[in-house]
Structures are given as structure tokens and as C-alpha cells.
Chains A and B, each alone.
Chain A
């Protein structure tokens, strides 16, 4: 039970710390117990006291006191009959006998429904408590019956069946069964239910009609989650894209973001790393800042970090709504400038318990290796490089023919790896209590040796109505992720993997641990490690434990006015452990074990008080919202390391005997906000939304602490105008326009408003050589720092044709960001590190773009299909850069490169590529001499263009040579189902994208220091041999690898992200085995990619440092090499009980 220990400690900690949370957790526990307390029986006891009241009222009281609902046909049971009853704690059954005494009424219990039936002959049939108008129908002649189910085979309670053109109809019972008398064979039945597309079926001679209604995700009355509430899609004024769970089912992904890649116009999602458990990078409508460019995530009301999304099982997500424009997102104020993603987990629905099981198993593989030199080719390159530099050839390579070892390090490091997922969920409930709970297990082995990720999740979400006015509910997600990671120096591992000498074997008998290492005799100066040994001996194990939850109570104060209290918690406890054992790998031998551990705790709470007022007037509806919220986050970490252990098997700190270190720190931030929103809808045609949020953040100094974020939006449902009835083809036409101001407060440090004296510098003094305390300013704060603010304007149109079978959405948007938060690189002559200057509101950035979504869908009886295409563009331009700064130059520092590849200049895109223009190869001395003076140049070296014509190649001959922003991104998604088969395809593409392939610069360095790409076989070997590829030479005197057009590549691509074929077992088979639903499918992920790009993956943002998951927006587009994406083939089953 060691693994659970942290949890109880953690709870204890919270309970001691915070009273509010203590209460909320107690409530949560009560709620959990409540969940199991309901049992349905007519023996449930009730107390009723009425005097001469209609039966209907008594039934109402029973309903209030129990879980029961009454069903009866209005004409059949006289509920207006007056009775006088005075009973205490008697079973319902007895009470019913009392009130219907003599009426010849019988009672049947179906689940928690009590059906009252007259034992007299039947009359025209109606269901439900409310009688339908006009009961004067001609006597029906045919009885039709059947079952109405959804696509999963689950009965649709209350689905209505109406004979077309009449008011004759009924509703399905709990098992989806219905019986209806119709006028004759010519009758057409209309089957419908909220959230499903309506189906019409002619009766003909059939007496049994079983109907499957398809979920209608695009239905206009669909409810969309917006910040702090929901809205009918038809009432939306903002630009919001929604993805539902059905759209993304059956993909082998650990993170929901990966499943929606290429589906949402204006949202660019890149999976730069295929490392198990690695987060994805998301940008909503371009990059407007120099810091964190990702959107704000809100999970069931709790704002979280992008990494927290990794802890949520995609199977448990009901919908994902992306708020793109200011109108939609301004309610999140200071954190909304990069967009907001609302994730809603699955909730229970009224009905009998529904159990679903989802699982898949797949195999991932990666084989698109970068072609590298074999041993002899590598040795020859060394010989050539040494000869060119006048150096002696290293003995290891002097005689290529005699080299027998030829290791393909990519083959050695990559493997086929399984991926699997299991999820069980149960949901259901009654009118007054709904619940949904699930448990999941995800396990992904890495395609690189010694990497994997496992995740256990448990989740519960429920809602209870207590009386007429109070509703309480909660959503709790627990997860535990276990990873074997690349750890720090991810980038370094790929430098070793690709740069290691092919002349080094993988294994060496006799070496402690069994692996070979670099050594002069075999690998010369190339000391890139044996990656397989390195990964085995440097395993970083991480755990990520997460509690993410919210708890709410909603009370109806007066009709239409509700108060809601929302408490959120986001608590994490993460650990990381690296144990380096004693091993031998030649000159990378390690004789001293070392253990490094760290533990991080994060704890964040949110308190929200929200008042909402909703009122429907005759011609317009009004919805008002006001709120006050506080959020506070605390972080602490503790870590240490120790050397020397008695044996490799002992791997805890206490077992260490040598020198050790210890570190720890704490920090916190807080946010206090006021928010308000008004929605007005006039005649269902004219829509108006205004929002306002005022945020105060602890990150800013007292004079600039608060920021105001307003927005307004207008919408016009043109299709609802009378004049549009003349154009029946247009089923929906809406114009939208919005304007608003959003903020960004994201800084990499919580105390950026103050300069402080740091006490970490240390020195050694005294004969005892002990540490002497030292103190100095090491980074700078800015008390005048304030919000970065983004003003966004959006205009959009939604169009639906032919009853919505053709749908089209277009948006044009402009985002103007001012006062971009940046630690502008400062001169190191200050004595402060270049990257530790003060944060400043330093720049302006403008992003603008178009988004289109066009789709066609057709629902037929047994053949449905839908295809949609989306496309979006982003234009990025830096509009200002603080006072006098001409450009921000970013320094890339990683295992491959050190230098400046990009710069951010006014009038250009952020992070534009900056460098020399390569202009062929010098063929002879005369060409070198006649060219502008280029220090170090010799025949065979790259000629760089003298852009300023001053006769010398200097740094002034660099210019902007490209930018990392694609011309447009697009997605093509199709799905179809025929009878029980279904098929879906998802393509993702990017056009006009460039990357600076700095990994290639490393692999084509031509200096013999490490392994090279096979392209180097085409190197210059003498006059006229080639004009594209330089010579091999030690020392690289001409700096042929300097940032230049040579390594700039077109990274456009089109990728088949997912293809899936499924089969749903027919109901007849299911019934015989007692299942409500069963589907099996086969799918493939990352099936193929069409691209000219020479690196592993064109779909990277780049700009990372040593760890590939860091993204530096000032160096976007510099591909520093990442964990490749596997192709996955998998099989899965989905079962409903």
C-alpha cells in the first residue's frame, strides 16, 4: 500500500490547511456515499397529509419524497379527483390503494417509475402527465410497436413517436418501448428526441418498427459549454468550436489534444514528441506572446495547466469546447489571450445504469530512419576530413577495410512497442440524482528503448437535486501516471543516438553491465555514447499523481435567479528518480553510483461565487451572470542526490554513503476576479452578448495589479427572418461579430514584480574549506509590469443548407497584442545573465487569419456519411519592440547547436529565420579569391553571399531568410456508416511551412567529429564534383554549418492521422448475449506522411532547448530533433452492458 500513502497524507495536509476545503471534501465524501444509497421499491415509506386535494397533488408529494415518478394516461386516470389523506410513514403501495380505492386502477413498478393503469377498456392513447391538445382523433386502426434506441443500442427514454400530420403520439418508456395506434398503412411515423436527428418512417404493413436514432451533434439546438454556463448553439455570438467524444473515439492517444488534431479550424495542435506521456503543443489563432503560447484549460470549471490535461483519460471526456474569439473567452479575462479550452467530462443521464467497457491494444512502430553512414563510409569521411585539414588520420579510421563493426544505432534504439488501454464506466440516475463513474488504465511502451508511460485514472461525477431549489454536484478526477522518461537532456540523447560512431558495437562481453562504450581505438575522437547503454543506465522514473476536482452547490433563490458556489481543487504530487548504477562502457565508464530524487507538490484552490438570472419574456430572453472568484496556488519542491552505494541494487537515499546535495523551494501566486455577462436574445433572431472581467494578480506590483477585460458581440439569425422563408434551401444563416480585450499574465516566475537579493551564490573560505554565504542580485524584477493585453475582433458567418446537410462556417479575426510580456535579452555587461533581465511589456504582435469549415452530411436509414474540410490561415507580424530595440535575438543552446538562428524584428514574423545565404560551393582557389573575403574559405567550402556588397563576408551579410509560420493548415475528416459498419478517416496538413533543420546541421557538419547523414556521400571531392554539398574538413574552418539557407527546409506535409473501421453487432445478437452495445474496430494512427522534410517529423514547432518539450516562441521553427512519432495499428472493442 506504499503507493497510496501519499494520498492520505495529502488529504490530511489539505484538511489541516484550509477550512473551506475541509468542508468541501467532507461534502464530497457524503456525496460519494449518497450515490450508493438509492434503492427503488414500492415499499418506500412516505408521509402525506392533504385535505380535499386533487390526487395529482398527492402523486406530486410522493414524487418529492421518493425516487418514483408516475406515469399514466390522462384520460384513463382521473387525477383531479379530490381526496383527504393523513398518513405517516406508510409504504407507497398502501397509500396508492388508499387514494384510488374503488377506481379499478392498478399499479405497476418499472424501475423507479410507477405506471397507473385503468383496468377499464383502452381509450385513445397518450403518455406523459401533460395531455396533448386536441384529443378528438378518428379511431386508429393499426397498432404499431417497437423499440427506440440510440446508436449504441441504448434505449432512449421519452423519445417521442408522432403520426405525421396529426397530434396522435406517444413516448417511449424506460426500455425504449412504445405502442401507438395509427390511422392506417399510409401513416408516417416521426421519431424524435432531443439531441438526435429526427427520423420518419412510413408504417406500411409493418406492425413492429424498431428505430435507431442517430445522435445529432451538429443540431442547432445543441447546447454548447461556454465559460461559467451553457448556451444554445443557435444563440452563440462567439467563435467556439466543439468536439464531442464521438468524434474522437477509438484513437490510441493518451491525451485528448492529440485526438482532435486537424479537426478544429484555427487551432493548431502539434505533437512534437512521440515520447510516451509527452504533452502536446496547442496554439489557438497564432502566437501572440513570447512566453507560454498555449491556451487556458478549464476542466469542469477548474482552470488547469496544459500538462494537467495529460492526467485525464480521453475516454472520460464528453466534449471539448474551444473558445477562440474575445466574446467567448473574455469571461476568463487575464488568462484568455491565447484562447480557452473547456473540457467537460462525461455526466450521468437519467436512466438505468449503463456500463460501458472500452479497450484497445495496438502496436507502435517507427521505421522512417534518417539514412546515416555505415562504418566504412564514416571512416572514409574521417580520412577525407583529416586530409583536408592536414591532420593525421585517427588510427581507428585509418584503415576502413579492416573495420568489422557496423552498428545501426537507430535500429538498436527503436523498437516495436505495444500500447493498450482499458476503461470501464458506469452511469445512470434518476431525475434527482445522476452519476457517472469510470476507471481506466493506459499503458504505452515507448518506441525508443527504456521509455514508457502508464496511467491509472478514476473519476466520479454526479449531481443531486435536493428539493426543488438546491442542486449539488461534483466532478473528481484522480490519476496516477508512471513514466520511464528521457528525463533531462532529451535532446542530448538524440545527439548521442544519431552521432555515435557506427564502428562502436552495442554490447561488449566482460564489461560490467554488458554494453560497449566509445574509445579511441574504435571510435577515435567521437565520444557519443552508446545510446542503448545510456538509456539503460540512466533511467528516470517519474510519477505524476493528480487530484482534479470541483464541487458545486446551486440554489434557486427566487424564480429565475440562481446562486452557485463552485469550489475547485487541483493538487499534484510528482516525483522523479534517477539512479545511475556502476557500469563499464569504456571511457564512459561510471564507477560511482549516483541517486537523484525530487518531489514536487502543487496545490491550487478556487472559490467561485456566481449569481445567474435567466428570464424568458415574450419577445426576448435575458440572461445575466455576475461573479466573484479567488484562486491561489502553492508549489513546493524538495530534491537531493547522493553518491556511492554498497551495490547497484540499493537505490534509496539512506543506502548512499558518499557526498550528497539537497535543494528545496516554495512559491505561490494568487488571482482575485470579478466577472459579469449579459446575454440578450430578441425574437430568437437578434443576439447580444457583453462580458466583463476584472482580475487582480499577485504577479504584478500594486500600481498595476488589476486589469479590466471587456467584450461585446452581436449575432443575427438571418434564417429566422420572415423574408428568408422564401428560400427554404437555407436552413440556417447567422452573422456574428465580436470585439473584446483579453489578457495574459503568464510569466515563468511568480515574483517578477520585484528585484531581490539571491542568496544562492556561494564561495569557499577558510582553512576548513567550508561554504561562506554570499548574496547578490541575480535577476531583475519590474514593479511597473502589467498585463499583456490582446484586443481581438472577429466576424463570422454560419450557414446551413438543405436542412443542415451542408454546413459552412467562416471567420475572420484580428488579434492585436500589446505590451507582450518578455524578459528581453539584456546585455551581459550588466553582470546579469542575458535571460534574467526584467520582464517588460516589451512588444506588440499582430495576428490575423481566416478559418473555414465546410461539411456535408447525409443520414439515411442505414447509410450515413459526413465529410468536412477545414482550413485556417495565420499571419503573424511583430508591430513594435519596446523602446529602440530593433530586434530580439534568441540564442539556441542545445546538444546540436549553439548560436542565433532566429530573430524577432518589427515588421517580420516572430522568430523569423536569420542567417547567411548559401550560394553554391567554391570549386577552386580562383573562385575563393574572386569572391568577397570569406575567412577560412577554401575550395569545397560553402560560398556565402555578400549581401551588402562590402567585399567581405561578415555578420552584416545575414538577413531574414524565412519564417516558421505556415501559409495555411487544413484538415479533412470523413466518416460513414453502412448498416453495422463504420469507417472514419482524418487527414491533417500544413502548407507553406519552413523549419530550420538544426539536427541536419549537426549531421552534415563534415568535420568527422560524429556520425553523419548518408547525404554526405555526395560531398565535394574536387573541382566540378558538386556545387551543392561542401567538402569534409576537420575544424570546419569556413563554418559551413553557420545559420544559413543551407539548412532551411520546406516542412509542408499531409498526414493521414487516423483511419478506423468498425463493426457494430446487431441488436439480435446483442440481446442473446445480454449486451446493449458492442463494437469492434481496427484503426491506424499516423498512417503516412507526405513531406519533403528530411528530419523525423515535420509536425514540430521547434525552438526547444535541451529538453525537447520546452518551447521557446522566440526560436519557433528551429527543429532541434525530437522523439519520433510512431505509426500505430490497433484493435479495440467497445461494449455496453
Chain B
């Protein structure tokens, strides 16, 4: 009995030395919120919508990588230093990781939009106006992400609801037309509910004008010129937008969200990486701590008419003012020197004034009024409304003091079209429009053929990893 007593005592002692509480094994992450019941307040709904925007400023999209798919193929810049050389000369392969990075991030935006579009309408304790606005923003953004996806890959998988299990994403491609239908409906829905302007604290959200402009753009890409003209005309007629006086202020940290801006990707110099434009550090000349990734070529320099001030606002050319504020005794950074670049040039648009902080938070305009005017001109010209078309182009030229077009030089549809082609190239240089324009105009083979462009380069191959992961996904022809 003595032994048994001892054993009992010790067993009790033994057990008391472990903390036998029930939730010893229940642990939850201290930095996240349970997914169930997340959308339970206006604040939460707004955070869900903000997350859709957040994808836009990631490294993979507007901050850096996406530019490699849009700009080097135009032959107007050459990528150096950090890979992606295949995009200079169309020698990229489906396995190039840049493709998957961009593709995946665009779908991240789609997924986040789908989540909001599904969850927020189910919410009850939320102001109805805010509720519909938030859903409207989500729909605009979903269309915006699909617009990039179709522009880069044409036919891609289409999702209008968030996945339940990851295998839900293993579906076949939808046609570009089917995706366009969804995009157009989304934009029409968004246009109806989005406000024309926001209060100061919400600056940067999608507006009615942004939805109209994107809708016009989508119709233009779809060659539906009537609808394009109509919707882009809405933007112009709203009189909410205008060109900024000084072309150098179009993309400039000192004039963000200006009157010309219709939809602008927001960046700020807050900390690093996440919210700064890496674009700036990647493209700044190496002498300034950047990487000099996208170096302008002679092709784009030559594209500017003599005396076009936009050349000097877009490209650093030997002897120009560079970074006077930074110049120190040891570093002569007053003036740009062509030896700093393998091509003799560096990007200036959006990078000036040059500062040392690599990730400067300069906003990037995805849609701006000059683009709308030129798209409107294009649609109008196709509809044989040459005078209004010419006026729109001239509005853009007038800002920089270039000679206005007249019926003498641009009397025909073709001549005016050529003028629009030129105007878009120089006005919107390095803003990710040129490659899209050349392909939809059917000019890519002529202009880019010498660089290696072939029919299969009309759209990018689907990322190899996706083909390998998803058996239902069939690679594009020619890849």
C-alpha cells in the first residue's frame, strides 16, 4: 500500500508538471484574420477592395516586370542587366519565368476582385451606396486585369467567382470574345455606380470616367468603333479632364493625380519595395545606383519630330540636366553623359527629377486624357469623322507646341491614321501602349519583323509551368 500511495502521489505530480490545459494545441496565427466571416463591416469590405488595387503596384506588374512584356518588344528600349533579354528580340520561350510572374499576378487581381464581387453584395450591415460603389470598383478592376490578360495572351482561363479549391483553376482557355463579354458587362455595371470624383482621402480609386475610358478602349481593341467613340466621347464630354500644361508634369512625383490622370497606379515613397516604384530604380542609370534596365534606342529617338519637346522630357540625352540636387564633390551628376548607357540614352519619363532614393513613389498613369483623346481620334477617324478626330489629335500636339495637323496633310483616313500612329508613339512612349497598338493595327510584322517578330509573337505563349500544372490548358499554336 505504501508503494501504491507513492506512485499515486508521483503520478499526480508528474501530470501537474505538464500544462494540461485543453487549448495547448490550439494555435492561431497572430498576424491574420480567420477567413470565415471576414466580410462583416464596411471597413473590412473596403480592405478587400484595396487588396485588388494592391496587386497593381507589385513588382510583377506596374512596379517592374510587366514593362518587359510591353516595352522591349517595340524595339524602343533594350533590356540589359537583369535578364529578360529574350523580350528584346522575340527569343523568349514559354518557360521564361517573367511570363508566369506577370500572368500569376494578373490572376491575383482577378481572384481578389472575384472575392469582393461575391462576398460584398451578401453583406447586410453596410451602407447601400458604399456597397455598390465597392462592387463597382471591383468590377472595374476585374475588367482591367482581364484586359491585360487578353492583350498579352488573348485566350486565357476565365473565372468570375473565387475558387473553392485550387483544382477549380484547372480549366481550359476561354475565347477572347467570351472574356470581352464579361469585361464589357463589368465596365457597364461599374460605370453606372462609380462616382465621378472622390474625396481627397479616396483619390486614386476607379471613377466613372475610368470605367468609361476603359470601356472605350476595350471597344477600340475589339474594333467596335461606334461604341468606342461613344464611350470615349463620354469621357471628353464630362469635362472633368484636361491636358496638363507642361508635358514634363504628366508623370512626375510633384504632380500626381493631376487633371489629365484618369486611372493612375498609386505609388508612394513609404518604406521600400511594396509601395515604391521599382520601375524607377530599375531604369535609373547605374551611375545613380539604378540598374539601367530599359535603355532607349535610337529608333525611338528618331521617331520624334524635330523640335518636339517631348523627346527631351522622355529621354536623357548627352549633356542634359540630370540630377543637380544630388551632385556632390565626388560625383558629377549635373549633366547626363551618354557613356552611362550602352545605347547612349536613359529613360527620363517618370524618372525625373532624379533622386537617390531608388524606389521613388512616382505614380504611373495607366489611362490618361491624352490617350483618351488619341483613342477617340482613332475611333472617330474610322467612323469617317475626320474633323473631330483631327481636333483631338491637335489638342495633344498643341500642348507641346507642335504644328497642328490640317486637312491638307491629313485629309484622308489613311493619312490621319498615320498621324495618329505617330502621335501615339511619341506622346505615349514607354507607357506600354505601342506594342499593343502595333499588333492591333496589324503593323507589328512590318515594324517589328526586322527585330525578330513573327506571327506567333502576336500573343505570348502561356507560361510553361501552367501548361505543366493544368492538363486542360493547351498551349497556343506555334509554341
Chain A residues close to B by CB (< 8 Å) = 20, 394, 512, 518-521, 524-525, 527, 555, 557-558, 561, 563, 565, 584, 586-592, 607, 609, 611, 628-630, 632, 641, 643, 658-661, 665-670, 672, 696-698, 702, 705, 750-751, 754-777, 780, 825-834, 837-838, 886-887, 889, 891, 893, 898-900, 936, 954-955, 1007, 1009, 1035-1037, 1039, 1042
Contact = CB atoms under 8 A, between A and B. Distances in A.
Nearest to A591: B356
A592 B30 contact: no
Contacts of B169: 826-827, 829-830
Contact of B38 (A555, A661, A667, A775): A775
21 contacts: A512-B330, A525-B342, A586-B286, A591-B331, A592-B289, A592-B357, A659-B271, A670-B25, A670-B27, A754-B29, A755-B35, A763-B275, A764-B275, A774-B47, A775-B44, A831-B104, A831-B109, A832-B108, A889-B465, A898-B97, A1035-B88
Q: Identify the interface centre among A584, A628, A893: most chain B CB within 10 Å of its CB.
A: A628
A889 B468 contact: yes
Interface stretch (B13-21, B240-248, B419-427, B441-449): B13-21
A764 B34 contact: no
Contact of B107 (A525, A770, A771, A829): A829
A776 B93 contact: no
A592 B256 CA distance: 25
A659 B50 contact: no
Q: Identify the interface centre among B28, B32, B100: most chain A CB within 10 Å of its CB.
A: B32
Contacts of B237: none
Q: Identify the interface centre among B80, B166, B169, B203: most chain A CB within 10 Å of its CB.
A: B166
Given A587-B340, A759-B47, A830 B289 contact: no
B200 A767 contact: yes
B467 interface: yes
Contacts of B287: 586-587, 589
Nearest to A565: B17
Given A527-B286, A557-B10, A900-B468, A1035 B91 contact: yes
Interface of B: 3, 6-7, 10, 14-15, 17-19, 24-35, 38, 44, 47-48, 50-51, 53-57, 80-81, 83, 85-86, 88-89, 91, 93-97, 100, 103-104, 107-112, 114-115, 156-157, 159, 162-163, 166, 168-171, 200-205, 256-257, 266-272, 274-275, 285-289, 291-292, 326, 328, 330-331, 339-342, 356-357, 361, 452, 463-471, 475, 479
A771 B47 CA distance: 11
A669 B27 contact: yes
Contact of A828 (B89, B104, B269, B357): B104
Contacts of A521: 339
B27 A900 contact: no
Given A589-B289, A900-B465, A773 B107 contact: no
Given A584-B330, A767-B200, A834-B100, A609 B361 contact: no
B343 to A, nearest CB: 10
Given A558-B3, A587-B292, A898-B83, A520 B268 contact: no
B19 A630 contact: yes
Given A519-B339, A557-B6, A756-B33, 18 more contacts: A557-B3, A587-B285, A590-B289, A591-B326, A628-B15, A628-B18, A659-B271, A698-B25, A756-B34, A756-B35, A758-B31, A764-B270, A765-B53, A767-B201, A775-B51, A829-B470, A831-B112, A1039-B93
Contacts of A832: 108, 111, 166
B30 A766 contact: no
Contact of A899 (B27, B97, B202): B97
Nearest to A824: B166
B48 A776 contact: yes
A769 B292 contact: no
A296 B463 CA distance: 39
A515 to B, nearest CB: 14
A936 B91 contact: yes
Nearest to B344: A520
Given A563-B10, A889-B468, A520 B267 contact: no
A586 B340 CA distance: 9
A434 B169 CA distance: 65
Contact of A831 (B110, B266, B463): B110
A762 B271 CA distance: 12
Contacts of A773: 47, 50
A364 to B, nearest CB: 34
Contact of B289 (A557, A591, A607, A761): A591
Contacts of A776: 48, 51, 54, 112, 115
A887 B470 CA distance: 11
A1007 B86 CA distance: 12
Contacts of B38: 757, 775
Nearest to A665: B31
Given A764-B266, A775-B44, A898 B3 contact: no
Nearest to A510: B330
Contacts of A555: 10
A763 B357 contact: no
Contacts of A774: 47-48, 50-51, 53-54
B32 to A, nearest CB: 4
A589 B326 CA distance: 13
A777 B80 contact: no
Given A587-B287, A659-B269, A834-B104, A607 B18 contact: yes
